[in-house]
């Protein structure tokens, strides 16, 4: 099997904690052909979609640790046609690049893409949670999305809570997430001015979200594969930061899914699969869904350390099964066509 990881550059990988590297490592261990490219390296040659790829050489003996593997891997640069791969694994960081998806549209029927292009288009930002239709706020905290400053100020004043969470619509890794309080209303308009530019054409949407009690104790990251949870961890904020993202200084701990969290996964799982969102990370606080991460969900390496497991094995098992299903369907179709032609 040949897999192309569409992601950030090889040089930017964190060799100890990178989820993408864990997936790449698992593929190389299984003797699959592996290459990676960035969205900026997509190109069209003779009307065929290609990419300037970093190809990872096959290894007789693959080091067991990610750090050693990263250090010893031999790489070369080569232009390759994307339709020649069996799988394209989307691992690019947000925000979603629509031009990247336009390139991939030409190969979506030839290659199994994780996650699907349509799913990425629908769920690439924090608006996707609204698609679950939670009119009674049972699984999603009360949320407002706008670039209208007066409206946002009004919602803060009318909120029953003294605290709310403000964050940019296209942020990731905890970037730009702040806790606001009514007691500091004199600063709110300045904050909104910072987040939302004055020009209508270039202004940014922001999310204003109900503060969930217990959020100061962290959140739960759950990885979902084909609609089912395959791993979870509690992320605990640092002593001087309200954000629990590991990239923002948070730490991780074991976590057993609660009854409410299991029910949440069961409720949203079918829609994720229907939308072709096979591998996602969801962030949960107090049993409520805060975010769905579909671009480059992380956490595998941390969960592996905490639970002494290898979550990447389950993911590559799934990818292999999907490719096999696609191949068997193609072979069956070819056989049936031959029967008709030879009749």
Which is nearest to 3 in space by CA: 13, 15, 29?
A: 29
Q: Tell me, what's the pLDDT at 196?
A: 86
Say if residues 166 and 206 touch (Cβ distance below 8 Å).
yes
Tell me the two tokens of residue 264: 């949440």
Q: Tell me, what's the pLDDT at 271?
A: 94
Return the bridge partners of 328, or none.
none
| pTM for this model (two decimals) | 0.86
Q: Tell me, what's the pLDDT at 245?
A: 54
pLDDT per position as a tens digit, 81-129: 999 999 999 999 888 899 999 999 999 999 999 999 999 999 876 678 8
Q: Tell me, what's the pLDDT at 203?
A: 62
Please give the domain boundaries of the chain with CATH numbers for all domains.
Answer: 2-114 (3.40.50.20), 142-210 (3.30.1490.20), 216-310 (3.30.470.20)
Q: Tell me, what's the pLDDT at 172?
A: 67
Q: Tell me, what's the pLDDT at 174?
A: 67
Q: Tell me, what's the pLDDT at 106?
A: 96
Phi, psi for residue 186 in degrees, rounded to 5: -65, -20
Q: Tell me, what's the pLDDT at 216?
A: 83
Q: How far apart are CA 290 and CA 232, in angstroms?
A: 15
SS3 content of the chain, % helix, strand, coil (to 5): 40, 25, 35
Q: Which residue ranges in the chain fall short of pLDDT 70?
A: 125-126, 130-131, 133-137, 171-174, 198-203, 239-249
Q: How far apart are CA 23 and CA 134, in angstroms?
A: 34
């Amino acid at each position: 099997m040949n897999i192309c990881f569409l992601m950030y550059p090889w040089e930017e990988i964190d060799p100890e904690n990178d989820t993408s590297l864990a997936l790449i490592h698992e593929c190389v261990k299984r003797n699959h052909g592996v290459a990676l490219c960035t969205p900026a390296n997509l190109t069209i040659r003779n009307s065929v979609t290609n990419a300037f790829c970093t190809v990872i050489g096959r290894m007789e003996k693959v080091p067991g640790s990610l750090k050693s593997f990263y250090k010893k891997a031999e790489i070369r640069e080569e232009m390759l046609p994307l339709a020649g791969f069996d799988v394209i694994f989307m691992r690019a960081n947000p925000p979603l690049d629509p031009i990247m998806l336009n390139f991939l549209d030409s190969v979506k029927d030839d290659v199994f893409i994780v996650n699907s292009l349509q799913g990425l288009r629908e769920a690439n930002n924090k608006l996707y949670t609204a698609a679950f239709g939670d009119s009674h706020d049972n699984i999603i905290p009360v949320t407002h999305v706008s670039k209208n400053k007066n409206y946002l100020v009004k919602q803060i004043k009318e909120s029953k809570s003294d605290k709310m969470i403000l964050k940019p619509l296209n942020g990731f890794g905890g970037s730009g997430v702040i806790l606001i309080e009514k007691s500091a209303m004199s600063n709110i308009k300045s904050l909104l001015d910072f987040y939302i530019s004055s020009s209508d054409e270039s202004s940014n949407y922001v999310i204003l979200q109900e503060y969930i009690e217990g959020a100061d104790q962290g959140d739960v990251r759950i990885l979902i594969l084909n609609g089912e949870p395959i791993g979870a961890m509690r992320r605990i904020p640092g002593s001087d930061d309200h954000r629990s993202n590991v990239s923002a200084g948070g730490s991780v701990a074991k976590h057993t899914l609660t009854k409410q969290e299991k029910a949440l996964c069961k409720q949203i799982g079918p829609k994720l699969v229907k939308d072709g969102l096979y591998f996602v990370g969801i962030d949960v606080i107090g049993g409520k869904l805060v975010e769905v991460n579909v671009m480059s969900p992380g956490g595998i390496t941390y969960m592996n350390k905490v639970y002494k497991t290898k979550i990447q094995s389950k993911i590559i098992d799934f990818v292999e099964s999907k490719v096999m299903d696609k191949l068997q369907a193609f072979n069956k179709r070819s056989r049936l066509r031959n029967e008709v032609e030879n009749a």
